[in-house]
Amino acid sequence: MDLIRHADPDHPSPFHAARLTLSLPPEPPLSHQLDLCLIAEDQRGKAVGALVAGPPEWLVAHPGLQNSALLLDLVHRITMIHGVAVAPRYRGRGIGRALIRQAEQRYRALGWGLSMLIHAPSLATYYERLGYVSHPALLMNLPSPHPLIGQDFLDMLTALKPLSPDVRLADVAFAPAPVISGVLPGSQVPEHAWFDGAGLCY
């Protein structure tokens, strides 16, 4: 917890996601069911970095997915890094990068298709070097007849990284953000799709 508070020091409840994760019993498929807690240690076994990931809270609360049978499938395909932190004197050594890559490897091996996180604009270059695409909003195509759903994050950016070859970030004409394609079967965005202000047209 002392490390996690460094992930977002201005957050009024910096331990919220960590508490939710650690309140779950340690069970597969990850460290805590669908959630993952990773700790980096130095040579003496001292914890110097931490990462907490799990189902995106915005996805679970999205009005377009309330009472949707798709929600269970989506939380098995999209993970969100809620926080990654490194003790101040250990920064600049690649520990945060190693934690993120380890989390991606674990989720990828278990069939997750997309990793995401929310970050301050000043960190865009850092996450781009790790293979993420940052944008103020996201759009996700769902299988027909479900609508395209979107989410924005106020003054923060969302960073997205496909974890499997069937998932991609599609550049769609007139869309305000890249469209997440292929997270679920039947949700691939056709190559010449365009956005009409409400949904995708083919």
Listed by start position, the domains of the chain span: 1-112, 116-202
Q: What is the pLDDT of residue 138?
A: 94
Q: What is the pLDDT of residue 9?
A: 66
- pLDDT confidence tier of residue 14, bands split at 50, 70 and 90: low
Overall average pLDDT of the 11-26 stretch: 75
| CB proximity list for 120: less than 8 A, separation 6 or greater | 156, 157
Both tokens of residue 100?
Answer: 């993120």
Both tokens of residue 163?
Answer: 């974890």
Q: What is the pLDDT of residues 186-196, one digit of tens each?
A: 999 998 999 99
CATH number for the domain formed by residue range(s) 1-112: 3.40.630.30
Cis peptide before 29 (omega within 30 of 0): yes
* DSSP letter (8 states) at residue 151: E
Q: How far apart are the first and last CA of the chain?
A: 48
